[in-house]
Chain A
Amino acid sequence: MKLVVASGKGGTGKTTVSVNLAVSLGKCTLVDCDVEEPNDALFLGDPRHLEDVTVLVPEFDLEKCTLCGECAEFCRYKAIATIPPKLLYFDELCHSCGGCAIICPVDAVSEKPKMIGEVRTMSVGDIDFYDGRLSIGEPAASPVIRRLNAVDYEGLAIYDSPPGTACPVLETLKRADFALLVTEPTPFGLNDLKLAVDVVRAMDIPIGVVINRDGIGDSGVEDYCAEDGIEIMMRIPEDRRIAELYSEGRAFADVLDGYGDMFRGLMARIEAVVR
């Protein structure tokens, strides 16, 4: 089963839920897809480099190039411009579609790999852990997530999603069996939860909600979930001890009494829904 932990709003507790769920279950695969700002490993250990993630970018043979401008005209991302006697290529605008190499009438464009990030891995007890790290200055997170989507696992894989509702989140949600949406009971939490629900529903994935920092705000999230028929599967109370353990990079499920059972109960409920 592929379980995605997502949220819309950042900082609601995706990492907290993903890590503590994995620690409580003991045996599973945990994949951190927030490749712009991966944090799960900070709670678990020191992963090793597994492989580079590359995308293909064009290389221009200026001997062959006739400056006809067909590649520049084709490129939807304006990454190429031909201003005779020059061909200009803007690396940061390239989306690696490969179109320029196909369209060139004189075969002057080839493609070469460019490193945009890495995948790391480690074993923590019976948890198989993977994360991706986008290199600083690279705009496109999705190719790194695409690589993480190809991770082999047996049984359960927990995918910790990036925040938001744009391309990296869609990539993470691909082929998910269940989406667990973590929110906080505030107007910002509610607004962004609704956005996340829209995205997940558009992809036909079953949903459950976890309310984190329960008690800090208002009843907006509860009311919305009740009206919309979304199950609130777990509430994590506002607790200074949890915030302090989080700040030190420690999972609380195996430190504070009762939470391990709560997370195992959460997983049992998700399994029941998916079946």
Chain B
Amino acid sequence: MRQLLMLSGKGGTGKTTLTAAFASLADSPVLADCDVDAADLHLLLQPDVKERMGFRGMELAVKDLSRCIDCGICRDSCRYDSIDENNNIIEEMCEGCAVCTIVCPEGAMRMEPRISGDAYLSVTRLGPMSHAKLFTAEEASGKLVAMVRKNASDLAESWGRDLIIIDGPPGIGCPVIASIAGVNQVCVVTEPTVSGAHDLSRVIELCRHFGVPACVVINRCDINAGKADEIAAWCDENDVEVVGRVPYDTAATASMIAQETLIEHDDAVLAPKVREVWGRLEELAYGR
């Protein structure tokens, strides 16, 4: 089984739009949306949810009011500032470490399980899909990403499919690190702006750190052709393959509104370009 992960560093460069387009072109893929705190792929693919699984995140500290003597030791020991001046637990800040339970002299603290989100196994017109929703103001997005990936592998197994295309989260932190472990190929979607270039360099460094091969797509390449060339030159110097450039076109937004992928939207400008990019990316994803 092969896994292709779409990343970007900077948000809003077109990860989800391109992920969906590639899903249209791939031969029998499984899809996974690992941007669990702001997932969007489902808006294009309209998944039919077949199974919903509660996601147990980290446990939550709970205080027994009748035992608490307001000594404040728990507050001083909590590294996440999750206990306020009145020694009440700020639930959304608690990371479930349980230190408060061992420092409390009165045994007033205990840990309780909490459901921090939902994971879904679904079917879409382009193949089976693993996705999730982290509940409002919950922690543990990395752990939920791991669950989405496990579910995607299970789907690939049961459907007999050998490619998982993963829509990744922005940034380089916890959910991205959980997304990157063990994938075969990363494709970084960037844009020709100073921010796009800066964030690209950090994601490429992250891929190196974890020993995962990465390639680059320059999206909206004509917004600043000079900057696109600079990015391509930087990639060249750093032995990163640019698998293609996709121009800016209003069709990207139009297809989103129509709930279609760029390929399904049958656009004259973007679809041929995206096919070209996929031609090379598919080879890399399969390690050819």
Q: Which residues of A contact B (CB under 8 A)?
A: 8-12, 15, 34, 36-37, 39, 42-43, 56, 74, 76-77, 92, 95-99, 102-103, 134, 136-142, 146, 162-171, 174, 186-188, 191-192, 195, 198-199, 202-203, 216-218, 243-244, 246-249
Bound-complex Cα distance A164 to B173 (A): 12
22 contacts between A and B (CB under 8 A): A36-B170, A36-B172, A37-B171, A37-B202, A42-B195, A95-B95, A97-B97, A102-B102, A136-B205, A136-B209, A162-B171, A164-B141, A166-B175, A170-B137, A171-B93, A174-B81, A195-B136, A199-B137, A202-B136, A218-B257, A247-B192, A247-B224
Q: B: which residues have CB within 8 A of A?
A: 8-13, 16, 35, 37-38, 40, 43, 58-59, 77, 79-81, 92-93, 95-99, 102-103, 134, 136-139, 141-142, 169-177, 191-195, 198-199, 202, 205-206, 209-210, 223-224, 227, 250, 253, 256-257, 259
Chain A: which residue is nearest B35 at the CB level?
A: A164
Q: Majority SS of interface residues in chain B?
A: loop
Measured in the bound complex, the distance between the Cα atoms of B143 and A139 in whole Å is 12
A39-B195, A99-B99 known; A8-B10 Cβ under 8 A:
no
Question: Which residues of the partner chain B approach A162 to less than 8 Å between Cβ atoms?
Answer: 171
Closest to A40 in B: B195
Within the assembled complex, what's the spacing in Å between the Cα atoms of A108 and B248? Answer: 59
In the complex, which of the residues B10, B79, B173 contacts A138, with contact meaning CB atoms closer than 8 Å?
B173
Query: Bound state CA distance, A98 and B78, in angstroms?
Result: 9
- Residues in A with CB closer than 8 Å to B175 are 166
**Complex Cα–Cα for A42 and B198 (A):** 9
A164-B257 CB under 8 A given contacts A76-B58, A199-B136: no
Q: Are B59 and A10 in contact (CB under 8 A)?
A: no
- Complex: chain A residue closest to B200, CB-CB: A37
Asked if A139 and B173 make an inter-chain contact with CB atoms under 8 angstroms apart, the answer reads yes
Q: State the Cβ distance, A223 to closest chain B Cβ, in Å.
A: 14
Which partner residue on chain A sits nearest B111 by CB separation?
A76
Contact indicator A137/B192 (Cβ below 8 Å): no
Contact of A191 among B43, B77, B170, B227 (CB under 8 A): B43
Task: Report the minimal beta-carbon distance from B73 to chain A, rounded to whole angstroms.
Answer: 11
A36–B9 Cα distance when bound, in Å, is 8
Choose from A134, A186, A248, A249 the contact partner of B256 (Cβ within 8 Å). A186
Partner of A37, one of B9, B93, B138, B210: B9
Determine whether the beta carbon of B195 is less than 8 Å from that of A166: no
A9:B257 contact, CB within 8 angstroms: no
Q: A137 to B209, Cβ gap below 8 A?
A: yes
Q: 5 more A-B contacts (CB under 8 A) besides A39-B195, A97-B98, A99-B98?
A: A10-B170, A165-B134, A174-B81, A188-B16, A202-B136
A32 to chain B, nearest CB (A): 11
Asked if B171 contacts A36 (CB within 8 A), the reply is yes
Q: Are B37 and A195 interface neighbours, CB within 8 A?
A: yes
Q: Which residues of A contact B257 (CB under 8 A)?
A: 186-187, 217-218
Question: Nearest B residue to A77 by beta-carbon distance?
Answer: B97
CB proximity of B190 to chain A, nearest CB, Å: 11
Closest to A39 in B: B195
Asked if residues A249 and B194 are in contact (CB atoms below 8 Å), the reply is yes
Q: Are B202 and A164 in contact (CB under 8 A)?
A: no
Chain A residue nearest to B143 (CB atoms) is A77
The residue from A11, A97, A165, A248 contacting B10, defined by CB atoms under 8 A apart: A11
B174–chain A nearest beta-carbon distance, Å = 4
Smallest Cβ-Cβ distance to A56: which chain B residue: B79
A91 CB → nearest B CB, Å: 12
- Which residue in A37, A136, A141 is a CB contact (below 8 Å) of B198? A37
Looking at the assembled complex, report how far the CB atom of B151 sits from the nearest CB atom of chain A, in whole angstroms: 19
Q: In the assembled complex, how far is the CB of residue B192 from the closest CB belonging to chain A, in whole angstroms?
A: 6
Contacts of A199 in B (CB 8 A): 136-137
Cα A97 to Cα B93 in complex, Å, equals 13
Nearest-neighbour CB distance to chain B for A59, whole angstroms, equals: 16
Q: Contact partner of B174 among A37, A140, A249, CB < 8 A?
A: A140
B58 (CB) vs chain A CBs: closest residue: A76
Taking CB as reference atom, which chain A residue is nearest B41? A188
A10-B170, A136-B205, A164-B169 known; A247-B223 Cβ under 8 A: yes
**Minimum distance in angstroms from A96 CB to a CB of chain B:** 6
Least distance between B146 CB and chain A CB atoms (Å): 12
Q: Which residues of B contact A174 (CB under 8 A)?
A: 81
Nearest chain A CB to B218 CB, angstrom units: 12
Which residues on the B side are within 8 Å of A97 (C-beta)?
79-80, 95, 97-99
A39 to B250 CA separation, bound complex (whole angstroms): 26
The answer to whether A165 touches B37, judged by C-beta atoms less than 8 angstroms apart, is yes
Kindly provide the distance from the CB of A126 to the nearest chain B CB, expressed in whole angstroms: 24
Q: Is the CB of B40 within 8 A of A188?
A: yes
A56 to chain B, nearest CB (A): 8
Q: How far is the CA of A245 from the CA of B192 in the complex (A)?
A: 12
Residue contact A39 to B102, C-beta cutoff 8 Å: no
Which among A43, A95, A163 has the greatest number of chain B C-beta atoms within 10 A? A163
CB–CB A136/B224 < 8 A: no
Which one of B10, B35, B177 contacts A92 once the chains associate, using CB atoms below 8 Å?
B177
Could you tell me the distance between the alpha carbons of A198 and B169 in the complex, rounded to whole angstroms?
A: 19
Known: A165-B137, A186-B253, A216-B250. A192 touches B40 (CB 8 A): yes
Option from B11, B37, B81, B174 in Cβ contact (under 8 Å) with A146: B81
